[in-house]
Amino acid sequence: MTQSQGEVVVIAAPSGAGKTSLVKALIETSPNIDVAISHTTRPMRSHEMDGVNYHFVSAEDFLSLQSEGGFIESAEVFGNLYGTSRDAMTRIISQGKHLVLEIDYQGAAQIRQQVQDAISIFILPPSLATLKERLHSRAQDDAATIERRTGEAMNEISHYKEFDYLVVNDVFDVALSQIRSIIECGEQAFSLKNQLAAQSTLLSELLTTSP
Protein backbone atom coordinates (compact mmCIF):
# COMPACT_ATOMS: atom_id res chain seq x y z
CA MET A 1 0.00 0.00 0.00
CA THR A 2 1.43 3.33 -1.06
CA GLN A 3 1.79 5.90 1.71
CA SER A 4 0.11 9.20 0.93
CA GLN A 5 2.22 12.33 0.94
CA GLY A 6 1.91 15.00 3.58
CA GLU A 7 1.09 18.64 2.88
CA VAL A 8 3.32 21.70 2.93
CA VAL A 9 1.77 24.21 5.34
CA VAL A 10 2.83 27.85 5.51
CA ILE A 11 2.01 29.75 8.71
CA ALA A 12 2.63 33.49 8.73
CA ALA A 13 1.65 36.32 11.06
CA PRO A 14 2.57 39.82 12.15
CA SER A 15 5.00 40.16 15.03
CA GLY A 16 3.07 39.77 18.28
CA ALA A 17 0.29 37.56 16.93
CA GLY A 18 1.63 34.44 18.65
CA LYS A 19 2.74 32.48 15.59
CA THR A 20 5.87 30.95 17.14
CA SER A 21 4.03 29.69 20.24
CA LEU A 22 1.25 28.22 18.11
CA VAL A 23 3.66 26.40 15.78
CA LYS A 24 5.64 25.05 18.76
CA ALA A 25 2.47 23.71 20.40
CA LEU A 26 1.23 22.31 17.09
CA ILE A 27 4.40 20.28 16.58
CA GLU A 28 4.55 19.10 20.21
CA THR A 29 0.97 17.79 20.11
CA SER A 30 0.81 16.43 16.54
CA PRO A 31 3.07 13.47 15.69
CA ASN A 32 2.18 13.79 12.00
CA ILE A 33 3.42 17.39 11.77
CA ASP A 34 7.09 18.29 11.49
CA VAL A 35 9.39 21.21 10.74
CA ALA A 36 12.49 21.32 8.55
CA ILE A 37 15.86 22.30 9.97
CA SER A 38 16.83 25.44 8.08
CA HIS A 39 20.20 26.29 6.58
CA THR A 40 21.85 29.51 7.70
CA THR A 41 25.10 31.40 7.25
CA ARG A 42 24.99 33.08 10.65
CA PRO A 43 27.55 31.96 13.25
CA MET A 44 26.55 29.12 15.55
CA ARG A 45 25.89 30.24 19.12
CA SER A 46 27.38 28.48 22.13
CA HIS A 47 24.19 26.63 23.06
CA GLU A 48 23.41 25.49 19.50
CA MET A 49 24.26 22.32 17.60
CA ASP A 50 24.76 21.91 13.87
CA GLY A 51 22.00 19.78 12.39
CA VAL A 52 19.77 20.33 15.42
CA ASN A 53 19.06 24.07 15.57
CA TYR A 54 20.22 24.84 12.03
CA HIS A 55 22.47 23.52 9.32
CA PHE A 56 25.29 26.04 9.68
CA VAL A 57 26.99 26.58 6.33
CA SER A 58 29.31 29.07 4.68
CA ALA A 59 27.92 31.82 2.47
CA GLU A 60 29.65 30.15 -0.47
CA ASP A 61 27.97 26.80 0.17
CA PHE A 62 24.59 28.45 0.76
CA LEU A 63 24.75 30.42 -2.49
CA SER A 64 25.88 27.34 -4.39
CA LEU A 65 22.91 25.34 -3.11
CA GLN A 66 20.61 28.26 -3.84
CA SER A 67 21.85 28.56 -7.44
CA GLU A 68 21.10 24.85 -7.94
CA GLY A 69 17.48 25.37 -6.84
CA GLY A 70 18.11 23.61 -3.55
CA PHE A 71 15.86 25.88 -1.48
CA ILE A 72 12.08 26.15 -1.61
CA GLU A 73 12.39 29.50 0.16
CA SER A 74 15.27 31.68 1.31
CA ALA A 75 15.82 35.13 2.72
CA GLU A 76 18.47 37.49 4.03
CA VAL A 77 17.90 38.68 7.60
CA PHE A 78 20.30 41.14 9.24
CA GLY A 79 23.05 40.21 6.81
CA ASN A 80 22.68 36.44 7.25
CA LEU A 81 21.11 33.98 4.82
CA TYR A 82 18.39 31.49 5.78
CA GLY A 83 16.70 28.83 3.68
CA THR A 84 14.55 25.69 3.74
CA SER A 85 15.99 22.93 1.59
CA ARG A 86 13.99 21.10 -1.03
CA ASP A 87 15.47 17.79 0.18
CA ALA A 88 14.13 18.40 3.71
CA MET A 89 10.66 19.11 2.34
CA THR A 90 10.68 15.97 0.19
CA ARG A 91 11.92 13.77 3.05
CA ILE A 92 9.20 14.94 5.47
CA ILE A 93 6.19 14.86 3.17
CA SER A 94 7.22 11.52 1.63
CA GLN A 95 6.88 10.05 5.14
CA GLY A 96 3.24 11.13 5.13
CA LYS A 97 3.92 13.97 7.56
CA HIS A 98 2.84 17.58 7.09
CA LEU A 99 5.68 20.08 6.84
CA VAL A 100 5.00 23.36 8.66
CA LEU A 101 6.96 26.42 7.58
CA GLU A 102 6.90 29.41 9.93
CA ILE A 103 7.82 32.28 7.61
CA ASP A 104 6.79 35.80 6.60
CA TYR A 105 4.59 36.81 3.67
CA GLN A 106 7.60 37.12 1.35
CA GLY A 107 8.69 33.57 2.11
CA ALA A 108 5.09 32.45 1.67
CA ALA A 109 5.07 33.95 -1.82
CA GLN A 110 8.19 31.93 -2.68
CA ILE A 111 6.55 28.74 -1.42
CA ARG A 112 3.45 29.36 -3.54
CA GLN A 113 5.67 29.57 -6.62
CA GLN A 114 7.56 26.38 -5.72
CA VAL A 115 4.76 24.25 -4.21
CA GLN A 116 1.46 24.88 -5.96
CA ASP A 117 -0.72 22.90 -3.55
CA ALA A 118 0.78 24.35 -0.36
CA ILE A 119 -1.69 25.34 2.37
CA SER A 120 -1.19 28.89 3.66
CA ILE A 121 -2.54 30.16 6.98
CA PHE A 122 -2.32 33.72 8.28
CA ILE A 123 -2.61 34.41 12.02
CA LEU A 124 -4.32 37.62 13.16
CA PRO A 125 -4.31 39.22 16.62
CA PRO A 126 -7.78 39.75 18.16
CA SER A 127 -7.29 43.53 18.23
CA LEU A 128 -4.70 46.24 17.67
CA ALA A 129 -4.58 46.86 21.42
CA THR A 130 -3.76 43.19 22.08
CA LEU A 131 -1.07 43.25 19.40
CA LYS A 132 0.60 46.27 21.03
CA GLU A 133 0.26 44.70 24.48
CA ARG A 134 1.97 41.51 23.29
CA LEU A 135 4.77 43.50 21.67
CA HIS A 136 5.28 45.43 24.91
CA SER A 137 5.22 42.34 27.14
CA ARG A 138 7.55 40.07 25.18
CA ALA A 139 10.65 42.31 25.17
CA GLN A 140 12.09 45.29 26.99
CA ASP A 141 12.15 47.66 24.05
CA ASP A 142 11.76 51.40 24.12
CA ALA A 143 8.62 53.13 22.87
CA ALA A 144 10.17 53.97 19.50
CA THR A 145 11.08 50.32 18.87
CA ILE A 146 7.59 49.17 19.83
CA GLU A 147 6.08 51.68 17.40
CA ARG A 148 8.42 50.51 14.64
CA ARG A 149 7.47 46.90 15.27
CA THR A 150 3.80 47.84 15.26
CA GLY A 151 4.27 49.53 11.91
CA GLU A 152 5.99 46.43 10.54
CA ALA A 153 3.12 44.33 11.87
CA MET A 154 0.61 46.53 10.04
CA ASN A 155 2.54 45.96 6.82
CA GLU A 156 2.49 42.19 7.41
CA ILE A 157 -1.26 42.25 8.08
CA SER A 158 -1.90 44.09 4.80
CA HIS A 159 -0.85 40.90 2.97
CA TYR A 160 -3.51 38.68 4.59
CA LYS A 161 -5.46 38.30 1.32
CA GLU A 162 -2.56 36.33 -0.16
CA PHE A 163 -3.34 33.39 2.16
CA ASP A 164 -5.84 30.53 1.96
CA TYR A 165 -7.00 30.68 5.58
CA LEU A 166 -7.24 33.21 8.43
CA VAL A 167 -7.13 32.30 12.13
CA VAL A 168 -7.58 34.81 14.96
CA ASN A 169 -5.35 34.05 17.94
CA ASP A 170 -7.57 35.29 20.77
CA VAL A 171 -7.85 32.16 22.92
CA PHE A 172 -4.65 30.16 22.34
CA ASP A 173 -6.11 26.63 22.55
CA VAL A 174 -8.99 27.58 20.24
CA ALA A 175 -6.62 29.01 17.64
CA LEU A 176 -4.44 25.90 17.92
CA SER A 177 -7.45 23.65 17.34
CA GLN A 178 -8.51 25.71 14.33
CA ILE A 179 -5.07 25.46 12.73
CA ARG A 180 -5.05 21.72 13.28
CA SER A 181 -8.52 21.34 11.70
CA ILE A 182 -7.35 23.31 8.65
CA ILE A 183 -4.32 21.05 8.18
CA GLU A 184 -6.15 17.80 8.84
CA CYS A 185 -9.41 18.36 6.96
CA GLY A 186 -9.30 21.74 5.19
CA GLU A 187 -11.92 23.27 7.51
CA GLN A 188 -13.64 25.85 5.28
CA ALA A 189 -15.06 27.90 8.15
CA PHE A 190 -11.61 29.53 8.34
CA SER A 191 -11.09 29.98 4.60
CA LEU A 192 -10.22 33.48 3.44
CA LYS A 193 -13.62 33.86 1.77
CA ASN A 194 -15.56 33.01 4.93
CA GLN A 195 -13.27 34.93 7.25
CA LEU A 196 -13.56 38.10 5.17
CA ALA A 197 -17.16 38.23 6.31
CA ALA A 198 -16.73 36.82 9.81
CA GLN A 199 -13.79 39.07 10.70
CA SER A 200 -14.72 42.17 8.72
CA THR A 201 -14.81 44.43 11.81
CA LEU A 202 -11.43 43.20 13.06
CA LEU A 203 -9.81 43.50 9.64
CA SER A 204 -11.16 47.02 9.28
CA GLU A 205 -9.69 47.99 12.64
CA LEU A 206 -6.31 46.44 11.96
CA LEU A 207 -5.96 47.94 8.50
CA THR A 208 -7.31 51.46 9.09
CA THR A 209 -5.86 52.31 12.50
CA SER A 210 -2.49 54.01 12.38
CA PRO A 211 0.32 52.51 14.50
Q: Do the domain assignments include residue 51? A: no
Is 173 part of a structural domain of the chain?
Answer: yes
- 1 class by beta-carbon count within 10 Å (0-12 exposed, 13-18 middle, 19+ buried): exposed
What are the residues whose beta carbons fall under 8 Å from the beta carbon of 63, sequence distance 6 or more? 81
Is there a domain that residue 78 lies in? no
Residue 82 maps to a domain: no
SS3 94: helix
**Measured between alpha carbons, how far is 209 from 211 in angstroms, rounded to an integer?**
6
Q: pLDDT per position in the chain (211 positions), as tens?
A: 556 899 999 999 998 899 989 999 999 999 999 999 999 999 999 999 999 999 999 999 999 999 999 999 999 988 999 999 999 999 999 999 999 999 989 999 999 999 989 999 999 999 988 988 888 776 556 777 777 888 888 899 999 999 999 999 999 999 999 999 999 999 999 999 999 999 999 999 998 854 4
Per the domain annotation, does 79 fall within a domain? no
Of 162, 121, 124, which Cα lies nearest the Cα of 17? 124
Domain that holds residue 126: 8-35+96-208
Any domain includes 156: yes
Count: domains in the chain: 1
CATH number of the domain to which 144 belongs: 3.40.50.300
